[in-house]
């Protein structure tokens, strides 16, 4: 059974990493259930294992954390739903590529709940949306903006880190980095796309989307989880 945990308020990033790693170790040892943990963080940047120093364009703007997840630089902050995914990928077939595709499908299904078409692009990690409301690019193409990021790590076939969806963050905060190392595309959010949705609305859609991709959930108390 997978526990579904939602933490209120802003969660300290270093504390979240500790909780994630401890939980992943416990799952690997067979002493804890798998878990999905939904949080918001105070404004910060994180650097994945492929991050390039030049992509941190404003290093003094917010705290910067070096992480063990895959990927490059990203921003976390209020108005963004961060989803930490602690699942047994080994039990799910030892197929990392398929697991990442499942995460992508989960995000795409969540966006579809709001009539937003999320898409995957070769060579660009994350989930993207077309922006026909914006001027065409120099090549004459419809612009695309990133609405969700995905970056995981596996230890003993247990995943940790996860994904984030921009609900209503301050999009100007992404200007302190080159998000995921991609310069030619922008970022967007559900509210930026004209949807007056709340974080709770997104959480409901995330839950339904998860169960359609991964199976049933067990709800847990966030305080009890955080103390493990």
Q: What is the CATH number of the domain that holds 147?
A: 3.30.930.10
Sheet with 64-66, side-by-side order of all strands:
64-66, 44-47, 73-76
| Residue 75 counted as an annotated binding residue | yes
Percent of the chain with pLDDT over 90: 82
Dist CA 121 CA 227 (whole Å):
39
Question: Can you give the residue range of the structural domain that contains 37?
Answer: 2-226
Q: What pLDDT sits at residue 222?
A: 53
Active site residue 175: no
- Confirm whether residue 76 is marked as ligand binding: yes
**Which residue, 164, 159, 163, 166, is CA-closest to 145?**
166
* pLDDT for residue 192: 98
**93 a known binding residue?**
no
DSSP structure string for 36-97: EEEEE--SEEEE-TT--GGGBS-TTSS-EEE-SSSSSEEEE-TTEEEEEEE-BTTTTTS-HH
pTM reported for the whole predicted model? 0.93
Question: Other CB atoms closer than 10 Å to residue 54's CB: what's the count?
Answer: 8
In angstroms, rounded to a whole number, what is the distance separating the alpha carbons of residues 179 and 168?
17
Distance of CA 146 to the CA centre of its chain: 12
What is the pLDDT, as a whole number, of residue 183? 66
Query: Has 162 been labeled as part of a binding site?
Result: yes
Number of domains present in the structure of the chain: 1
**Residue 84 annotated as lining a ligand binding site:** no
Q: Which of 111, 148, 180, 187 is catalytic?
A: 180
Cα radius of gyration (the chain): 17
**Are the beta carbons of 128 and 119 closer than 8 angstroms?**
yes
**pLDDT bucket at 181, cuts 50 / 70 / 90:** low
Euclidean distance between CA atoms 107 and 43, whole angstroms:
22
pLDDT category at 220 given cuts 50, 70, 90 is low
């Amino acid at each position: 059974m997978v526990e579904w945990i939602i933490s209120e308020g802003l969660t300290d990033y270093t504390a979240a990493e500790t909780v994630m790693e401890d939980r992943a170790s416990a799952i690997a040892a067979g002493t804890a259930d798998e878990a999905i943990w939904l949080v918001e963080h105070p404004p910060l940047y994180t650097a994945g294992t492929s991050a390039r120093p030049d992509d941190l364009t404003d290093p003094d703007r917010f705290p910067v954390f070096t992480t063990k997840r895959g990927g490059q630089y990203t921003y976390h902050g209020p108005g963004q739903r961060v989803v930490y995914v602690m699942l047994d990928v080994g039990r799910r077939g030892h197929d990392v590529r398929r697991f990442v595709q499942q995460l992508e499908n989960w995000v795409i299904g969540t966006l579809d709940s709001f009539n937003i078409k999320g898409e995957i692009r070769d060579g660009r990690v994350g989930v993207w949306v077309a922006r026909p409301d914006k001027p065409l690019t120099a090549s004459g193409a419809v612009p695309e903006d990133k609405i969700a990021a995905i970056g995981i790590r596996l230890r003993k076939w247990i995943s940790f880190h996860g994904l984030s969806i921009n609900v209503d963050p301050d999009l100007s905060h992404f200007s302190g980095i080159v998000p995921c190392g991609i310069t030619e595309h922008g970022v967007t959010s559900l509210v930026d796309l004209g949807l007056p949705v709340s974080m709770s609305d997104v959480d409901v859609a995330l839950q339904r989307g998860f169960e359609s991709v991964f199976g049933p959930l067990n709800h847990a108390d966030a305080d009890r989880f955080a103390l493990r």
